[in-house]
Amino acid sequence: MYAGSFPLTRLRRCRKNQFTQALVQENSLQVTDLVYPVFVSEGTQLIRPIATMPGQNCYSIDQLLNVAAECVKLGIPGIALFPNIELAKKDKLASEAYNPQGLIPRAITELKQKFPDLVIFTDVALDPYTLNGHDGITGDANYVLNDITLEILSKQALCHAAAGADFVCPSDMMDGRILKIRQHLEAAGYVNTGILAYSAKYNSNFYGPFREAVGASCNAEKIDKSSYQLNPADANVAMHETFIDIQEGADIVMIKPGLPYLDILYRVKHEFKKPTAAYHVSGEYLMLKHCASFIDYNAAIIEIMLCFKRAGADFIWTYAALDVAKILNKHNHLGELHGKK
């Protein structure tokens, strides 16, 4: 007989009932673990359903304010803004990306007036603003030019900071972007504007529904971002990218997509111990919504969120944030969590 052998050890003793399970549970999920990504467009009184993302809409700024109010009411601490830019404002050099009167700066200003504490994350990348949907400025053969792109990204980040964004979030995967943006923010006096870096952003098929939503899938053929986003076959390079982003001044790092990349999330959190976010992306959300008649959506989404927590996420960006918050707020007492009836 050795320690740990049956019947001295019966692990089921700690799983006897939900009260015991709750006491020994290692990780937990709270509404404060959520960030809600929202799509914004020009116009007024506009709530346009996004065909590729059931339950998600594109909002004009006045309607966005209602969404923000709901987040605050539910206890969701942050929202991430993504613009749907009309074709007439797109150009080769993405100049609308740093227009101080542009859609995103106006949205930030209005949100901050009404909800000063709600944390606002903004996407720093050029794909909604370029004609070809690439995250940067393209040269010959649609190759994205790194250093020219950095200049535009820095202007975009400054423009968001000036409007009052709490965190600018470079999702472009150019080399050197975090340092460049940090230097520009410091020089302009935005010392308290944070950077959430999409440090390990993979070249994933799961972004398809999002690209439709922001109107960045202008090309009929699939856009190829493999010369800047990470190869899904690689893991060590994600560690290298994250290491560099932290060295360059990232306050928070993010892994994207979510579920297929939990190994990366786990490694990043355990190696660097920095604030770490996971992005449960559009394709993952869509898959779950499509399964809703076969699996219990509410139970499954809570399980997925808990898995992110277990793997090391401090918080999660998810289109299901409102759903999750409502489930958690409704079932906040013992015995009703995790979809157990």
Q: In angstroms, what is the minimal distance from the CB of 330 to ligand PBG?
A: 26
- Contacts with ligand PBG, 109-128, as mask; x by CB under 6 A: --------------x-x-x-
Q: What are the residues facing 169 on neighbouring strands? A: 123
Q: Count the neighbouring beta carbons within 10 Å of the beta carbon of residue 199.
A: 30
Q: Which of these segments, 22-30, 85-93, 181-189, 204-212, binds ligand PBG (CB under 6 A)?
A: 204-212
Residue 210 found at the interface with ligand PBG (CB under 6 A) = yes
Give 123 or 323: the residue with its C-beta nearer to ligand PBG.
123
Residue 276 found at the interface with ligand PBG (CB under 6 A) = no
Q: In angstroms, what is the minimal distance from the CB of 123 to ligand PBG?
A: 5
What angle do helix axes 61-74 and 321-330 make, rounded to 10 degrees? 30
Q: Which of these, 201, 202, 222, 200, lies nearest to 211 by C-alpha position? A: 222
Q: In angstroms, what is the minimal distance from the CB of 150 to ligand PBG?
A: 15
Q: Note the Cα 5 to chain centre separation in Å.
A: 44
Q: Which amino acid belongs to residue 162?
A: A
In angstroms, the CA 258 to CA 314 distance is 13
Size of the site for ligand PBG (CB under 6 A): 11
Q: Which of these, 82, 178, 163, lies nearest to 127 by C-alpha position? A: 82
Give 168 or 337: the residue with its C-beta nearer to ligand PBG.
168
Show Cβ contacts of residue 308 under 8 Å, excluding neighbours closer than 6 positions.
258, 262, 265, 278, 280, 316
For the chain, how far is it from start to end, CA to CA, in angstroms? 39
When binding is defined by CB under 6 A, the residue of 207, 261, 308, 315 that contacts ligand PBG is: 207
Give 3 or 220: the residue with its C-beta nearer to ligand PBG.
220
Site residues (CB under 6 A) for ligand PBG, limited to 139-198: 171
When binding is defined by CB under 6 A, the residue of 134, 160, 177, 211 that contacts ligand PBG is: 211
When binding is defined by CB under 6 A, the residue of 135, 166, 245, 323 that contacts ligand PBG is: 135
Give 197 or 337: the residue with its C-beta nearer to ligand PBG.
197
Enumerate the H helices of 29-102 as residue ranges.
Answer: 61-74
Residue 34 backbone phi and psi in degrees, to 5:
-115, 145
Please say whether the beta carbons of 18 and 334 come within 8 A: yes
Residue 134 found at the interface with ligand PBG (CB under 6 A) = no
Q: In angstroms, what is the minimal distance from the CB of 214 to ligand PBG?
A: 7
In angstroms, the CA 74 to CA 243 distance is 35
Give 133 or 337: the residue with its C-beta nearer to ligand PBG.
133
Give 186 or 224: the residue with its C-beta nearer to ligand PBG.
224
- Judged by DSSP in three states, 170 sits in strand
Q: In angstroms, what is the minimal distance from the CB of 282 to ligand PBG?
A: 3
Residue 282 found at the interface with ligand PBG (CB under 6 A) = yes
Give 128 or 312: the residue with its C-beta nearer to ligand PBG.
128
Q: In angstroms, what is the minimal distance from the CB of 84 to ligand PBG?
A: 12
Q: Which of these, 261, 266, 331, lies nearest to 299 by C-alpha position? A: 331
Which are the catalytic amino acids?
Answer: 201, 256
Show Cβ contacts of residue 259 under 8 Å, excluding neighbours closer than 6 positions.
280, 284, 304, 307
Enumerate the H helices of the chain as residue ranges.
Answer: 18-24, 61-74, 103-114, 146-163, 177-187, 208-213, 236-247, 262-272, 282-290, 297-311, 321-330
When binding is defined by CB under 6 A, the residue of 40, 50, 144, 281 that contacts ligand PBG is: 281
Site residues (CB under 6 A) for ligand PBG, limited to 222-251: 225
Q: Which of these segments, 3-11, 26-34, 207-215, 269-277, binds ligand PBG (CB under 6 A)?
A: 207-215
- Judged by DSSP in three states, 42 sits in coil
Binding site for ligand PBG (CB under 6 A): 123, 125, 127, 135, 171, 207, 210-211, 225, 281-282
